[in-house]
Structure 1
Amino acid sequence: MFIKNLRRKWSSKHTVSVNATPQLYLAFYARLKYPNTYHYALHISSPEGASNPAIRTMKYHCKNIITVTEGTVSIPWVYEAVAIDPDSDPRIVVRVLLGDVSRIDLVDSLLEAVPVGEGSKEDFNCVSWVKDALLRLDQSGA
């Protein structure tokens, strides 16, 4: 009984009003081929406790894909925005709450416009894309 009450009292989950704004997270994903590194992505999630949220969680990131064009194999970087359930993805190591998103209407167009694959192969990766994306979100006031 005491433990049950203690958990409720000290729960990390907080009560959120229905009008709460979506929240921005930096997500770190395990990379199976490179266990000492992480794949970076941005998540925008409806706050816990929000009733009928317009979004649950959207994942924004860039990734490599293998393509074959006229017999030539390439692995370009591509941008992806996809709805996910972070609770069911075992590759997510941690999500760090960065803050609230005040202009959710701007997010898709801002992040889609972040350059992908710019610079030399060594200069661009998911980390540099996330840095550029966060800078754009900050500068726009989103």
Structure 2
Amino acid sequence: MVWREEAPEGKLDLLLTLDFRMTSTTVFSDVVLPAATWYEKHDLSSTDMHPFVHAFNPAISPPWQTRTDWDAFHTIAREFSRQAAEHLGVRKDVVAAPLLHDTPDELANPHGRVRDWKAGSASRFPAAPCPN
């Protein structure tokens, strides 16, 4: 452990909060979006004291400019997606999957070493030990 007399300081470019109370986070936020309360939205809640889930149904519609969490996140995500197409272009997803325990994929790789068929260290023909 390294002890530092002065704590490192950094800068947060933007802090956006979605809350219906004035908390310590909202006090320091750049943008505070008004959120609906428990009485104004469909929600699920659970506690560590009970092994069941509580379902809430709204008693009233969200007043003024408040929105439910889902509504706010959905609106932000839609706008991010719209701007991402222009600013980020097209991206290709890369999916990495582990070799599951005691499966043909894992058993085809002795000692957990995946051999590269492109480099010639493994056969690339069907039925030969070769990973996906």
What TM-score comes out, normalization by structure 2 length? 0.17
Greater strand proportion: 1
What TM-score comes out, normalization by structure 1 length? 0.16
- Higher relative CO (Cα under 8 Å, sequence separation at least 6) belongs to 1
The structure having more radius of gyration, on CA atoms, is 2
